[in-house]
Amino acid sequence: MDHVAWPGTGRGAAVVFDIDGTLLRPGSSLQRVHMGSMATAIERFSGIHTEFRYDGGDLFVNGNNLAGCTDAGTVDLVLRTAGVPAPELPCLRATIVENMCDLVAAATETLDSRHELLPGTAALVTELRRRGVIVGLSTGNARAVAACKMRATGLTGLEALGGFGDTHGARSDISRDAVAAVRLAAGTRGQVLGETGVVLIGDTTSDVGAARAADVRCVGVATGAARAHELERAGADLVVPTMQQLRVRDIAALVEADGVAYPDGAGGLRNAAPYGRLPARPGAAPSNPRR
C-alpha cells in the first residue's frame, strides 16, 4: 500500500513506543530476565552484588525507583552508589551492557512471550502498520535487549527504528534519537513528517518529559509506573487507561491537529475514549475544531 498515514490528508506519521509497562506488562518475565541478566553482568565484571525489587508496577534498585531509567543509567547508578570512580564508568558500563545483552539473548532465544503483551498492543501496532504509519521504539532498553523482547512477543521489527538505552542516561536523548530515526525513515519514503507528525507512547512521566524534550506529541498510558493524573500533570497530550482504549483515529487527530492541548474538548478528540485532559498551556493557541 502507499505509505500515507491518514487517507485524504497526505501527511506521513510515526509512532514510537516505550516497552516495559507500555507494550509489556510491568514485571513481566521478560523484564525479569532482563534485570536478572543486568545483575549478573554487574557482579561478574565489578563484583558488586545487585538486587532488583518489584513493587506493583514499579522497579527499584538500592531504594531508587527505576521508572523511566535507561540500561546505561541504571548500570551507572549501581556503580556510582558502590563507589566506582567516575573515570572508570564508561568502559565498565559498556562491558556490562554488552554482557547483559548476550545473557538476555541466550535466555530468550526460544521463548514465546506473546502473553506478556498488554491487551491491545499487538492490534494497535498491526493497524498502524497496515495504514502505512512508521513505527519504532523509544525505550531505555539496550537495542539488543529490545530486539529480544520484540522477537519473543511477535512484534519483530519495531527495534529497527528508534532510540535506545545502550549509552544514554537521559530519556530525552533517547527520544531525540527515536525522532531522528523515524524522520530519516520518512524521508526514504518521500514523506516529510510535520511538526505534529511523531507521537511517543509511554507509561511514565519520564516518557512524557522525553516527548516534550523532542518536541513531539505524547500519549500517556496508565498501565505502568504512573497513574493517569501524574501523566496528565507531566504534560501528556492524551492519557488512556489502557492500550485497548487508544484508537488509531485518536492518534491521527493528534498528528493532524495544529494546537497543543485539548483542554475542554475543543480539539479533535471529543468522541475519543476516556482521557485525562490537560489545562491549556499559557500562550498556547487553541486547536481548530475538527468535524
The verdict on residue 7 lying in a domain is: no
Per DSSP, the residues of 51-73 read: -EEEETTEEEETTEE-TT--HHH
Range of the domain at 119: 14-25+114-256
pLDDT at 115 over 70: yes
The verdict on residue 133 lying in a domain is: yes
Q: Look at residues 62, 98, 59, 100 and name the one whose alpha carbon lies nearest to residue 82.
A: 62
Q: What is the pLDDT of residues 58-70, one digit of tens each?
A: 899 989 999 989 9
For 217, residues 6+ apart whose C-beta sits below 8 A from its C-beta are: 196, 198, 199, 200, 211, 237, 254, 255
For 47, residues 6+ apart whose C-beta sits below 8 A from its C-beta are: none
Q: Residue written as cell 552484588?
A: 49
Q: Are 108 and 147 in contact (CB under 8 A)?
A: no
The alpha carbon dihedral of 255, 258, 260, 266 has a sign of negative
The verdict on residue 216 lying in a domain is: yes
Tell whether 234 and 152 lie within a shared domain: yes
Q: Look at residues 78, 29, 21, 56 and name the one whose alpha carbon lies nearest to residue 242.
A: 21
Q: At what angle do helices 29-46 and 143-153 cross, to 10 degrees?
A: 150
Structural domain tally of the chain?
2
The pLDDT assigned to 258 comes to 52
Q: What is the pLDDT of residues 67-113, one digit of tens each?
A: 989 999 999 999 999 999 999 999 999 999 999 999 999 999 999 99
Residue 26: all three cell numbers together: 510491568
For the entire predicted model, the pTM comes to 0.86
- What strands lie across the sheet with 64-65, from one edge to the other? 52-55, 58-61, 64-65
The verdict on residue 163 lying in a domain is: yes
The verdict on residue 5 lying in a domain is: no
Tell whether 20 and 43 lie within a shared domain: no
Q: Work out the average pLDDT over 233-260.
A: 89
Tell whether 98 and 156 lie within a shared domain: no
Mean pLDDT of the chain: 87
Residue 23: all three cell numbers together: 507494550
Phi then psi for residue 116, to 5 deg, are: -80, -15
